[in-house]
């Protein structure tokens, strides 16, 4: 229907074949991430740990040792002490004659499950609360911001101990506790971003088109802070893993005999002079997992924000 004069039509770019489909910020970030060797190494480690956790029953099949099976004769020295690593027990045994390898592998399941679930829940709650507070402002915002302040000022261990003494320990209660103490930090970041984003002209444009508040929040504002949320998520996962380990260590998390890295470390402390493997393997598993997630989180942040200084990057 248009018949514009030729001089009105801007000439198309010289090479229209090449770039008609623009690359999304995601594609650009992924392209940058792929060039980051540390990020790729971390990603491989994380995938490996996940595969191992998923394939835990395979380890039972291969070694013939159940995770909670106690080998009173083969797994303990005549003095009743743990046995060092050998061909039958690759990572040695613990104080009850159980296979440390199989238990570390089963512990990975608990760690990853609680880490991923708790931080995902925390991110979802944090994003919702932050978006609503930041977007609507006023009384709603004041209320939600104060709520986040309260949560952030809670002494989490005391709270966890009190809660567990009422409800009793368990995996799900640990996940709830971790999520409860993690969402507020996400909420704060999202709220702050939303406060600035809602003043952008494109939000006004959406409003002038008649878009609803929900649409503006999720279609116009959320995509602009999702990068930060992803970064936060990758940094929250290791924090949640450590959090879960702490709860288990204190006997507030998953109930023994179910293996977790936290309760293995707690049990091993009494034996660290005689059984280094008992401390080392669950500790190393915890360290490697959190380190991989943290380094990946840093790289993801760099990938989403290429302006950050590259001077000291690899």
Number of residues that bind other proteins (CB under 8 A): 35
Q: Which stretch binds other proteins (CB under 8 A): 6-14, 47-55, 67-75, 118-126?
A: 6-14
What x-and-dash track marks residues 224-263 binding other proteins by CB under 8 A? Answer: x-x-------------------------------------
Q: Is 9 in the site for other proteins (CB under 8 A)?
A: yes
Q: Is 155 in the site for other proteins (CB under 8 A)?
A: no
Q: Is 25 in the site for other proteins (CB under 8 A)?
A: yes
Least separation in angstroms between residue 223's CB and other proteins is 4
Least separation in angstroms between residue 13's CB and other proteins is 8
Q: Is 141 in the site for other proteins (CB under 8 A)?
A: no
Q: Report the residue number, 220 or 244, with the smaller CB distance to other proteins.
A: 220
Q: Is 20 in the site for other proteins (CB under 8 A)?
A: yes
Exposed/middle/buried for 196, CB within 10 Å: 0-12, 13-18, 19+? exposed
What x-and-dash track marks residues 192-211 binding other proteins by CB under 8 A? Answer: --------xxx-xxxxxxxx
Q: Is 14 in the site for other proteins (CB under 8 A)?
A: no
Q: Which stretch binds other proteins (CB under 8 A): 81-89, 215-223, 236-244, 273-281?
A: 215-223
Least separation in angstroms between residue 211's CB and other proteins is 5
């Amino acid at each position: 229907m248009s018949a514009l004069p030729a001089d009105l039509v801007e000439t198309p770019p010289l090479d229209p074949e090449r770039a008609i489909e623009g690359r999304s910020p995601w594609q650009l970030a992924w392209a940058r991430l792929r060039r980051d060797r540390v990020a790729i190494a971390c990603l491989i480690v994380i995938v490996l740990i996940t595969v191992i956790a998923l394939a835990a029953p395979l380890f039972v099949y291969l070694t013939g040792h159940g995770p909670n099976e106690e080998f009173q004769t083969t797994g303990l020295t005549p003095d009743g002490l743990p046995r060092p690593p050998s061909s039958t027990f690759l990572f040695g045994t613990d104080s009850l004659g159980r296979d440390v390898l199989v238990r570390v592998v089963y512990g990975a399941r608990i760690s990853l499950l609680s880490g991923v679930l708790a931080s995902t829940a925390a991110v979802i709650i944090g994003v919702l609360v932050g978006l609503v507070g930041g977007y609507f402002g006023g009384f709603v915002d004041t209320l939600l911001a104060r709520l986040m302040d309260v949560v952030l000022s809670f002494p989490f261990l005391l709270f966890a101990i009190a809660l567990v003494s009422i409800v009793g320990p368990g995996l799900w209660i640990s996940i709830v506790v971790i999520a409860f103490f993690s969402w507020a930090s996400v909420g704060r970041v999202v709220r702050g971003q939303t406060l600035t984003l809602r003043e952008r002209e494109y939000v006004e444009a959406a409003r002038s088109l008649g878009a609803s508040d929900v649409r503006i929040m999720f279609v116009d504002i959320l995509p602009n802070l999702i990068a930060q949320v992803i970064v936060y998520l990758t940094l929250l996962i290791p924090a949640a893993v450590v959090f879960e380990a702490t709860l288990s260590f204190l006997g507030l998390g998953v109930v023994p005999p179910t293996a977790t890295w936290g309760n293995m470390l707690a049990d091993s402390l009494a034996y660290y002079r005689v059984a280094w493997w008992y401390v080392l393997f669950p500790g190393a598993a915890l360290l490697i997992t959190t380190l991989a997630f943290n380094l990946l989180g840093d790289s993801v942040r760099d990938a989403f924000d290429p302006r950050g200084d590259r001077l000291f990057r690899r």
